A and B are shown apart, each in its own frame.
Chain A
Amino acid sequence: MKNLKWFVLAAVCILFAVSWFAKASGGDGVDNSVLDAFLVTLAAFLTLAIMSFLYQDNPYYKFAEHLFVGVSAAYWMCLGFWSTVVGNLFPRISEGLSNFFLVPYQPGPLNFFFAIPIILGILLLMRLSPKGGWLSRWPLAFIVGTTAGLNFVRYLRSDFVKQISSTFVPLVVDWQGFGHFFSNISLTAGGPLVMMLTNLVIFIGVFCGIVYFFFSKEHTGVFGKASRVGIWILMITFGASFGYTVMGRISLLVGRLTFLFTDWLGIIG
């Protein structure tokens, strides 16, 4: 078993070298530099290493996982520092620091508001101090409290007031008697039949959906039945959403397969 591992590792290394050489020598009809050939081969290797997870956990997956996690964590840390601290803060507070980091200084009167994020940021780092750890709770409370407060109004506006007004739909549309209705019946989107059915689904869907999410009363009797209709409507919605999202995921798979078969192997022109 141990020999098998070494054998597989050797095979992978040989395949990697062959692929690199083939790409660099223009074997696939494309003139690549040595570095480009290495990068394409490495990307293909990492793609296959991640996909090997479908078989089971293995050293190649572990390698790709750790590389991915390490690189991305470092990348996000650098991005945060350069875009927030260097990009936004230094140009506003110090000409010397701006010149040091080669970012355009934005002169202006000293704005003490910039001191607030600096202080909060330092307090957040106090977590690393054994004695001053409690200070890090202040910026946390500030972040959670302000954002929750701002979101409260936003959600109440979009998810509550606007939702109520969207439910104001007439159940009977363009009604001119049964005779007229049945003689002019059609399945066109703007027709009265479809409009009435649409409005009915909206109204019943909202009504029963809200009943399902009513937590102050036990779901029994008529209330329980309405709640049951509500969960059915939710499940139908989720089913449609599932299918829609799965199609999106397949396009991601197609993207990776296109990379493997076009950029790496050059099979697809």
Chain B
Amino acid sequence: MRYVLRCVLVAALLICGTAYAQTEDMVEDTVMTAMAPAPATNVNAFDTDNDHGHSVTVTWDLSVDDGGGTGAVTGYEIHRWSPAEMVTLDSLRGLLSAVEAELPNVADSSAEANLRRDSLRLRYAALIATSVAVGDDLDTEMKARRAAVKEAFLAALDGLPAAHARYPENGNWQLLGKVAAGVSTYSDAGGKEPTASSFIPDYCGFHYKVHALTADETVYGETAPFGPVECYGQWFNTGRVPVLLAVLIFGALTIIFVSIARRGADLYVRPLAGIEAVDDAIGRATEMGRPILYVLGLGTAADVATIASFTILGRVAKRVAEYQTALIVPTYEPIVMTVAQEVVKSSYLDAGRPDDYKDDTVFFVTQSQFAYVAAVNGIMLRELPATCVYMGKFFAESLLLAETGALAGSIQIAGTDEIAQIPFFIVACDYTLIGEELYAASAYLGREPILLGSLKAQDYAKAAVVVFALAGLLASYASWGHVFTDLFKVTN
């Protein structure tokens, strides 16, 4: 029995030993097979074109082991050499921000605040050699520290080009990011403000290298460093040349048509039902002895829709002044209110009734969207206007206003260029000006040469769109088609 047990024990030891030896072999095999992949080739780095600087684009040819993700390479890491001064700059940036945040709290004498200041003093001593007078006056001390930190920060900033030129002395490689297998470009873009943590300085000679990674991140193929390369801003964005051409052509068309209109030519604008109805609606209000409510929407005075609405308001106000009907213009924006007051005042003057103008015809309500709606809805139900005109920029309040107007029994005329709100006006109002009809309406009513001329220029621009769309359609079948389509490609 004892003999059998000894045999079993020896056999077990032999089996374990053999298994261990095999495992060792396998580990060795694994190390042997996990060889570094072929590195990426032709690494290139250059300043990113058509930008304000602070960005370098890195490109490379894929590793032969890439295979678009099917090979050994799982992705690429991009590294940039960073001098020690960049770390100092980061520390100074953090310290500056902390000192500035502390300044308004110098009156705080709590234990927590004192601890915070002690920590700041330690950070300061570790970074800056210049000592400051530490007295009882915390305010003076913190201001002195801020001045010293700022000076050191600016000095470190000035020293960055020289620090980068020292490559490869006293610095290390910093991982910037990773891209997937099959990708051969990386944009090293950062902030332009030195106080931003993502700041990348211009005019510094950067060096880059790319690692072709495998599933085991410790095993990779490394390229030779590429550099130096500097980033800087461009004065002219060549990617926007098509926009420049469009601006020039459109500007020229506008000038031509404005001058034609000024010479007295009769430029035809097709009638717009919504605008034709305005005069009838004002007449109705006069007959009923009820006011007209004019809502300019939620846009600012600089929105195109609001500007167009001012012209229509001018026309409505003039008619209202002639018929001596009441006008109510609640506004959402103080500057819109100011402009609207000027417009209405001028219209009353044009109508020969300046004395009838009252300052409270146009008034400010609030700049909170739904509070404004609540107020206008209340006005509608209390004043029961015969006509409600909504012209300008509208958002979620469009249906609330139009439904309440319908409830008050008003004739409603609306116009907006907000695509999402047009359906609500269409279902709830009697007449709706869709999108550009609002701009056309201002020209149609005003008959001013500038407005008419720009409307005509727009029409010709639309005709150009149709012509270009047809040409693009035909070009898409031709081998040279991309030459034509590239003319309209606008980058960033």
Beyond A161-B242, A165-B488, A168-B488, whether A217 also contacts B375 by CB under 8 A is no
Instruction: Kindly state whether residue A169 has any CB partner on chain B within 8 Å.
Output: yes
Q: Return the contact of B301 from the options A57, A64, A143, A169 (Cβ within 8 A).
A: A143
Cβ-defined contact, A213 with B469, below 8 A: no
1/0 contact string of B284-317 vs chain A (CB within 8 Å): 0000000000000000111010010000000000
Cβ-defined contact, B302 with A148, below 8 A: yes
Q: Closest approach, in angstroms, between the C-beta of B7 and any C-beta of chain A?
A: 70
Q: Is chain B's interface secondary structure helix, strand, loop, or mixed overall? A: helix
Cross-chain pair count, CB within 8 angstroms = 186
Q: Is chain A's interface secondary structure helix, strand, loop, or mixed overall? A: helix
Instruction: Kindly state whether residue A81 has any CB partner on chain B within 8 Å.
Output: no
Instruction: Kindly state whether residue B489 has any CB partner on chain A within 8 Å.
Output: yes
Cβ-defined contact, B473 with A65, below 8 A: no
Cβ-defined contact, B378 with A76, below 8 A: no
Beyond A124-B338, A140-B338, A214-B463, whether A102 also contacts B488 by CB under 8 A is no
Cβ-defined contact, B469 with A167, below 8 A: yes
Tally A residues with Cβ within 8 Å of B. Answer: 72
Instruction: Kindly state whether residue A160 has any CB partner on chain B within 8 Å.
Output: yes
Q: Closest approach, in angstroms, between the C-beta of A57 and any C-beta of chain B?
A: 4
Q: Closest approach, in angstroms, between the C-beta of B407 and any C-beta of chain A?
A: 9
Instruction: Kindly state whether residue B437 has any CB partner on chain A within 8 Å.
Output: yes
Q: Which residue among B243, B382, B475, B490 has the maximum number of chain A CB atoms within 10 Å of its CB?
A: B243
Q: Return the contact of A165 from the options B367, B375, B489 (Cβ within 8 A).
A: B489
Instruction: Kindly state whether residue B167 has any CB partner on chain A within 8 Å.
Output: no
- Within 44-84 of A, Cβ neighbours of B (below 8 Å) are at 50, 53, 56-57, 61-62, 64-65, 68-69, 71-73, 75-76
CA distance A60 to B268 in the complex (A): 53
Cβ-defined contact, B104 with A164, below 8 A: no
CA distance A194 to B447 in the complex (A): 46
Cβ-defined contact, B461 with A160, below 8 A: yes
1/0 contact string of B416-433 vs chain A (CB within 8 Å): 000110111011000000
Q: Which residue among A165, A169, A218 has the maximum number of chain B CB atoms within 10 Å of its CB?
A: A165
Nearest-neighbor residue (CB-CB) of B404 within chain A? A53
Instruction: Kindly state whether residue A6 has any CB partner on chain B within 8 Å.
Output: no
Q: Return the contact of A210 from the options B304, B382, B465, B489 (Cβ within 8 A).
A: B465
Instruction: Kindly state whether residue B117 has any CB partner on chain A within 8 Å.
Output: no
1/0 contact string of A84-127 vs chain B (CB within 8 Å): 00000000000000110011111100000000000000001001
Cβ-defined contact, B304 with A50, below 8 A: no
- Which residues on the B side are within 8 Å of A162 (C-beta)? 488, 490
Instruction: Kindly state whether residue A182 has any CB partner on chain B within 8 Å.
Output: no
Contacts from A to B (Cβ < 8 Å): 50, 53, 56-57, 61-62, 64-65, 68-69, 71-73, 75-76, 98-99, 102-107, 124, 127, 136-137, 140, 143-144, 146-148, 151-153, 155-157, 160-165, 167-172, 203, 206-207, 210-211, 213-219, 234-235, 237-239, 241-242, 245, 249
30 contacts between A and B (CB under 8 A): A56-B381, A57-B378, A65-B377, A68-B371, A69-B374, A72-B366, A72-B367, A72-B368, A73-B367, A105-B103, A124-B338, A140-B339, A146-B302, A148-B304, A148-B307, A151-B302, A156-B243, A157-B240, A164-B469, A164-B472, A165-B489, A168-B469, A168-B472, A168-B475, A207-B466, A210-B465, A218-B270, A241-B419, A241-B423, A242-B427
- The 7 A-B pairs at the shortest CB distance, nearest first, are namely A147-B302, A72-B368, A168-B472, A242-B423, A165-B488, A238-B423, A73-B366
Contacts from B to A (Cβ < 8 Å): 100-101, 103-104, 146-147, 150, 240, 242-243, 246-247, 250, 267-270, 300-302, 304, 307, 335, 338-339, 342, 364-368, 370-372, 374-375, 377-378, 381-382, 396, 399, 419-420, 422-424, 426-427, 434-437, 440, 444, 455-456, 459, 461-463, 465-466, 468-469, 472-473, 475-477, 485, 488-490
